[in-house]
Amino acid sequence: MITRNLQAISQRIKNACTKAGRNPHEVKILLATKTVAVDRIQLALQAGYTLIAENKVQELSHKYTALQQFHPTHHFIGHLQTNKIKDLLRYNIACIQSIDRFDLACKLHQRLQAQERTMDILIQVNTSAEESKFGVAPERTIDLVQQISNLTSLKIKGLMTIGLLSADREQARPCFRLLKQLQQQIRVVNMPNVSMSELSMGMSADLDIAIEEGATIVRIGTAVFGERNYPDSYYWNESATIQ
């Protein structure tokens, strides 16, 4: 089932690229593996889909070792608390996609510097203005990128967003357009240490729209692994608890 779902996702990406006149090689599939058991993640890795991401450091720590034999590339896409940075850096993470505030970036930079490491990051933008979601406000994004660009161990590679979730998928399109506009505005400023090559946007429901609007990374969970038992608010909203 997972293999078939992955094939269906690849086909959706191809179709969206054809519609948008883009090359499918420009779009990477990232598997959002929160709540998914390691044996099922392994099936996806064996099928060749090796870019994966967790939302919580603790969940990553439980799964990490069992997945290493398949040589995955790990990103991190969840809300990151400053007191979890140290734990996260125990793992080989290629990119943290959810940097949304300067104090978090500073603390990450300090730890990386002490370890003589660098880290690719994306800046998470709250393009839907929903209070329950993390991310820097769109109008504050350029300033935040400018500030973080001074932290030499952090390599800003682009922007990430979660589009407005709605039964009408088209509601997400303005969010993706906004992220693309911000990318272009930041490119014009031409800051040292900042490349704006990646736009991480689009999930199971709206990946097609995100690709039409320029996504280079789509983050897919349910369309590959099925529905989750936890509500997304458990991962996206700090005050939420499991019922």
Ligand X SMILES: *Cc1c(COP(=O)(O)O)cnc(C)c1O
Q: Residues in the site for ligand X, rule: CB under 6 A?
A: 32, 34, 55, 77, 162, 203-205, 219-223, 235
Q: Hunting for tokens 């991190």 — which residue is that?
A: 76
Looking at the Cβ atoms of 144 and 218, the one nearer to ligand X is 218
Question: How many beta carbons lie within 10 A of that of residue 160, not counting itself?
Answer: 27
Residues present in the chain in total: 243
Amino acid letter, 146: Q
Looking at the Cβ atoms of 41 and 149, the one nearer to ligand X is 41
SS3 content of the chain, % helix, strand, coil (to 5): 45, 20, 35
The neighbouring-strand residues paired with 200 are 160, 217
With H, G, I as helix, E, B as strand and everything else as coil, classify residue 53: strand
CB of 151 to ligand X, least distance (A): 23
CB of 227 to ligand X, least distance (A): 8
- Which of 158, 156, 160 minimizes the C-alpha distance to 193? 156
CB of 86 to ligand X, least distance (A): 22
Looking at the Cβ atoms of 22 and 34, the one nearer to ligand X is 34
Q: Hunting for tokens 């990386």 — which residue is that?
A: 112
Instruction: Indicate the residue whose CB is closest to ligand X.
Output: 221
CB of 221 to ligand X, least distance (A): 3
CA distance 47 to 63: 18
Looking at the Cβ atoms of 59 and 107, the one nearer to ligand X is 59
Looking at the Cβ atoms of 53 and 149, the one nearer to ligand X is 53
CB of 206 to ligand X, least distance (A): 8
The radius of gyration of the chain's CA atoms, rounded to the nearest angstrom, is 17
